[in-house]
Amino acid sequence: MFSDKLGEECGIFAGYSKNGDIAPHIKNGLLKLQHRGQESAGIATGDFTQTLHKNKGLVTEVFDDIAMKKLTGKFGIGHVRYSTQGGSNPVNAQPFLIDCAGGCVSIAHNGNVKKAMEIRDEFEKNGGVFVTSSDSEVLLRCVISDLKKPPDQWSFEDIGGCLKKDFPEGAYSLVFCLPNKVVAYRDPCGYRPLMLCEAKEGYFIASEDAAFDSLEVIKIVEIMPGEGVEITETGCETKNWAQCGSESKCVFEHIYFAAPASTIFGKNVYQVRFELGTILAKDDNIKPDIVVPVMESGFTAAIGYSRESGVPLETGLLCDLLAGRSFIQPTQEARVNKVREKFTPVRPAVEGKTVVLIDDSIVRGTTSTAIIKMLRAAGAGQIHVRLSSPMIVNTCSWGVDIPTKSELIAHRFGTEEEISRAIGADSVRYLNPGDLKAVFGESGWCYKCFMGDGFVY
């Protein structure tokens, strides 16, 4: 993916370990979710009381042997973060752990709740003080304020009632670790995914089912919109906490955010990306020598394009996976520097060749320009860019870090020809919005970022 693009709030992993401490299971789960957030990581564990460890950095950097030994207990929650609501300050790393009324509670959150900032303002007018700039802390402080009793007396229904009252709108999946209990909630419209796993080792919740790969899985189910889960030592129970609203599942989970091995909203990510790539290849009027993917999220679509067109797939861009996903960097300058660190063109593969470059989307266009310059410097001839999503013409209110409209290249230029000239490509072609809806369906999905104000495809 071009690094001038998107960021998504985070990944969460939580649950209960039947035998021994849960921290190693959480760490393994967060490693599988690292692609969802590389800015910071944290784990809170315990039984009646809890211990928290978090910091900026990758999972392997934050959780060394010393840190893991301190994280004891059979219950716990974990988080990997990219900042959308709340800045890139280390204090905003999650989970958040608060001692209150003779007990402790922690929270981790994936998504965005806009009303949280309004509620924060009201708290502060009445003398409330916040440690972070995150909406997750607002969520937790609201629940504490509403319930006014020790966390060991909080029920699943108590918390769900607070969410319905204080946050009737939002795109979130969130988990709480209470004394000897973990509870989780998925928002009524189902913007963000949440999965439940029963395994020999215990019961676990995660943003994606790929996070359960290190467990001896018995069963995996999707937590549906308006549903939640209560996990105790005696087992787990799925419950409704809010009436399911108009489902608006985020299509960018499949286009970019999720791991190819995951099945999100009932659709396998690899299969969807492969299909989008085959659609791009149909009726394409160019005759390239090679197909080059922009790793990682462009790779599967490139396989589909190559298979459909018969044009060979080449690794024309080496990708340093240890450099991390460039979209997750907190500033534009950092994103541009990251793409230079991450990608290296392979001259023997691209020199003198007509290249079709496959990626999932372009937002600002700044670092897409940098990648095309790299390939030209390596001797590539023509470069034709193909995107496995439609033009992004609108911002997002639900946790995807799409910039202001004035920054969107499709908003500024408007046509594929103008965008092609702006980024230095020989041509650019996006996926048709109708083709995207043919893959996902007309209803039940959020397509807002592909729709201009007052216009629906």
Please state, as a whole number, how many other Cβ atoms lie within 10 Å of the Cβ of residue 210: 20
User: What secondary structure, in 3-state letters, does the chain show?
Assistant: CCCCCCCECEEEEEEEECCCCCHHHHHHHHHHCHHHCCCEEEEEEECCCEEEEEEECCHHHHCCHHHHHHCCCCEEEEEEECCCCCCCCHHHCCCEEEEECCEEEEEEEEEECCHHHHHHHHHHHCCCCCCCCCHHHHHHHHHHHHHCCCHHHCCHHHHHHHHHHHCCCCEEEEEEEECCEEEEEECCCCCCCCEEEEECCEEEEECCHHHHCCCCEEEEEECCCCEEEEEECCEEEEEECCCCCCCCEECHHHHHHCCCCCEECCEEHHHHHHHHHHHHHCCCCCCCCEEEECCCCCHHHHHHHHHHHCCCECCCEEECHHHCCHHHCCCHHHHHHHHHHHEEECHHHHCCCCEEEEECCCCCCHHHHHHHHHHHHCCCCCEEEEECCCCCCCCCCCCECCCCHHHCHHHHHCCHHHHHHHHCCCEEEECCHHHHHHHHCCCCEECHHHCCCCCCC
CA distances from 303 to 5, 313, 343, 360 (A): 22, 7, 19, 13
What's the CA gap between 278 and 395, in Å, rounded?
Answer: 28
Would you call the peptide bond into 188 cis, given omega within 30 degrees of 0 as the criterion? no
* CA 86/CA 100 separation, integer angstroms: 23
Among 10, 177, 197, 250, the active-site one is 10
Handedness of CA 427, 417, 294, 323 (dihedral sign): positive
Whether 250 is catalytic is no
Q: Residues with catalytic annotation?
A: 10
